[in-house]
Amino acid sequence: MKPTYIPEPFRIKSVEPLKMLTRKEREQKIKDAHYNLFGLNSQDVYIDCLTDSGTNAMSANQWAGVMLGDESYAGATSYQHVIASATEIFGFPYIQPVHQGRAAEKVLMPLLLEGKRYAIANMFFDTTRGHAVMAGGIPIDCVVPEALDTSLRVPFKGNMDCKKLVELIEQYGKDNIGVIIMTITNNSAGGQPVSVANIRETAKIAHKYGIPFMIDSARYAENAWFIKQREEEFKNASIKQIINECFKDADYFTMSAKKDAIVNMGGLLGTRDKAMFEKIKQRCISFEGFVTYGGMSGRDLEALAIGLKEGIEEDFLKYRIGQLEYLAARLDEEGIAYQSPVGGHAIFIDAKKMLPHIPWYQYPAQALAVALYIEAGIRGCDIGSYMLDRDPVTHKEQEAQFEFTRLCIPRRVYTQAHLDIIINALVAVKKDADKIKGLKIVEEAPVLRHFTGKLELLK
Ligand code: F0G
């Protein structure tokens, strides 16, 4: 069956030109960037799949909102609009805007980990892991084992391993654990969804032991779409009802709005605890700005208030996930392995399978990302042993659970023809895969090294 492409539920009003360099130029550009894709200039990239974060195309309505943004320091109407949209969607009594997801983590994590040692998540995203470490905590991943087999097609590979969670709590002691986090969708496991049943069970365990339960909700709308498709109980529910079901047992939520709220900048932090909200506001004022703007300009707040609603529209989500499903179906035809079934925001190519001759400590997923850039100017990134920082205690290199080259699809930005270019590039790289070389790190920061690290190609 020919893979289907769900047509865009919009037409295009504004465009940005793209230009493709020659292969020789790209070889030089990536060398100059020390084989770190974050070091490339955007004009040297043809299709930018580095992230789906803040790279989305806003709607005409959102741009109209930008003009209406209220830039008052205190009490702006745009702030009120964000709170109204977010309260309607998440149902939390106390919500604080912040400038992006990691700002929410910076404000909240030290409060949750004060006097505690551990934080447990289905899987931490890199910044969340970094903030847990910087707050003096030890982050522990507790994803279901099915997630580790990229060829296993099960519906909710992002889930928490609840049996292991209980064992970890018993082992480390409930009083030493500051927070249990559910990342929806589970980015580090391949944008894999988490079921409502699993959220309910995890919340129940957390509350039984008196541990706060938090949702890292960067891609909560995509998660809700998967629940509607895959969890029997919710097949007739609206996206809003599903979201309500996901958040009702959570004590906190953090959100990078740069993903599912389809904006270029923004974040949210929610709590149900009034005393904690007071502390959050104080930290927010110190780090982000006054509570009614939280590090954002009024125009960004306005775009966020509108984007929150657009991001949960069913037509949009159907097309959005449809793009990923189209990519995945085409890769199946070509025999290219990825974390399957495909997740919400990106295709996670299994670099271990594509480059079996490169060991983990020579960063196969980074090597594949470099090769794709050289092949067609496509910029992806490593979600593997290069991205995983050294062990915070022993400072040794750590082998990641996966070696993924992540190719994100920004929302409402690229067309079917762009997706075909990505597929053709992967096919071409696979053909000559045995010629691709591993990498070594020559310079690295102690935390979040993948952003600024410098690498060299091995001979
Ligand atoms: N949580 C998750 C699950 C994320 O994917 C991200 C960011 C964050 C938190 C932090 O949010 O960037 O707004 O500060 N992920 C981006 C990515 C950067 O490319 O996956 P932020």
State if residue 256 touches ligand 1 by the CB under 6 angstroms criterion.
Answer: yes
Q: Which of 31, 32, 73, 208 is catalytic?
A: 73
**Ligand 1 pocket check for 320: Cβ under 6 Å:** no
Which residue's CA is the closest to the ligand 1 atom numbered 9?
101
Active-site residue, selected from the candidate residues 206, 218, 346, 367:
218
Which position among 141, 161, 216, 389 bears the catalytic label?
216
Distance 102 CA to ligand 1 centre (A): 7
The answer to whether 357 is a known catalytic residue is: no
User: Would the CB of 198 count as within 6 Å of ligand 1?
Assistant: no
What 3 state SS string does the chain have? Answer: CCCCCCCCCCCCCCCCCCCCCCHHHHHHHHHHCCCCHHHCCHHHCCEECCCCCCCCCCCHHHHHHHHHCCCCCCCCHHHHHHHHHHHHHHCCCEEEEECCHHHHHHHHHHHHHCCCCEEEECCCCHHHHHHHHHCCCEEEECECHHHHCCCCCCCCCCCECHHHHHHHHHHHCHHHEEEEEEECCECCCCCECCCHHHHHHHHHHHHHCCCCEEEECCCHHHHHHHHHHHCHHHCCCCHHHHHHHHHCCCCEEEEECCCCCCCCCCEEEEECCHHHHHHHHHHHHHHCCCCCCCCCCHHHHHHHHHHHHHCCCHHHHHHHHHHHHHHHHHHHHHCCCECCCCCCCEEEEEHHHHCCCCCHHHCHHHHHHHHHHHHHCEECEEECCCCCCCCCCCCCCCCCCCCEEEEECCCCCCCHHHHHHHHHHHHHHHHCHHHCCCEEEEECCCCCHHHHCEEEECC
Active site residue 125: yes
Specify the pLDDT at position 401: 86
Token representation of residue 359: 């060991």
Gap from CA of 127 to ligand 1 centroid (Å) = 7
For 23-52+314-457, CATH gives 3.90.1150.10
216 is catalytic: yes
In the residue annotation, 450 being an active-site residue is answered as yes
Q: How far is CA 302 from the centre of its chain?
A: 23
The HSE-up count of residue 4 (CA atoms within 13 Å, CB side) is 7
CA 199, CA 224: separation in Å to the nearest integer?
Answer: 12
- Residue 34 among the catalytic residues: no
CA 290, 292, 294, 297 torsion: positive or negative? Answer: negative
Pocket test for ligand 1, best of 48, 126, 223, 256 (most atoms within 8 A of CB): 256
Whether 186 is in the pocket of ligand 1, judged by its Cβ within 6 Å, is no
Name the residue among 53, 58, 32 with its Cα closest to residue 44. Answer: 32
Closest CA to 366 of 451, 432, 438: 438
- How far is the centre of ligand 1, averaged over its atoms, from the C-alpha of 54 (Å)? 10
Q: What is the mean pLDDT of each run of 10 residues along the chain (459 residues)?
A: 91 95 98 98 98 98 98 98 98 98 98 98 93 95 95 97 98 98 95 98 98 98 98 98 98 98 98 98 97 97 98 98 98 97 96 97 98 98 92 91 95 98 98 97 91 95
Verify whether ligand 1 is closer than 6 Å to residue 102 (CB atom): yes
259 among known catalytic residues: yes
Cα–Cα distance, 291 to 440 (Å, whole number): 44
431 is catalytic: no
**Cβ of 267 below 6 Å from ligand 1:** yes
Multiple choice CATH, 60-310, 1.10.1370.10, 3.40.640.10, 1.10.510.10, 3.40.50.2300: 3.40.640.10
Q: For the chain, which residues make up each domain, given as ranges?
A: 23-52+314-457, 60-310
274 within 8 A of 349, measured Cβ to Cβ: no
Catalytic residue from among 99, 258, 259, 345: 259
The reply to whether ligand 1 has any atom less than 6 angstroms from the CB of 183 is yes
What pLDDT sits at residue 175?
A: 98
**Pairing assessment for the beta strands 346-350 and 404-408 based on DSSP bridges:** antiparallel
Tracing tokens 């909700």 back to the chain, one arrives at 217
Cβ(100) to ligand 1 under 6 A?
Answer: yes
Partners of 267 in the beta sheet? 98, 256
pLDDT of residue 319: 98
The token pair that represents 381 in the structure block? 């990134």
Q: How far apart are CA 213 and CA 271, in angstroms?
A: 10
Strand order in the sheet with 346-350: 346-350, 404-408, 381-383
The alpha carbon of 313 is separated from its chain's Cα centroid by a whole number of angstroms, namely 20
Kindly name the residue from 52, 126, 249, 350 that is annotated as catalytic: 126
Q: Best substitution site from 105, 107, 259 to test ligand 1's pocket, by max atoms within 8 Å of Cβ?
A: 259
Crossing angle, helix 314-334 and helix 220-230, to 10 degrees?
A: 70
Check if 23-52+314-457 and 60-310 are the same fold: no
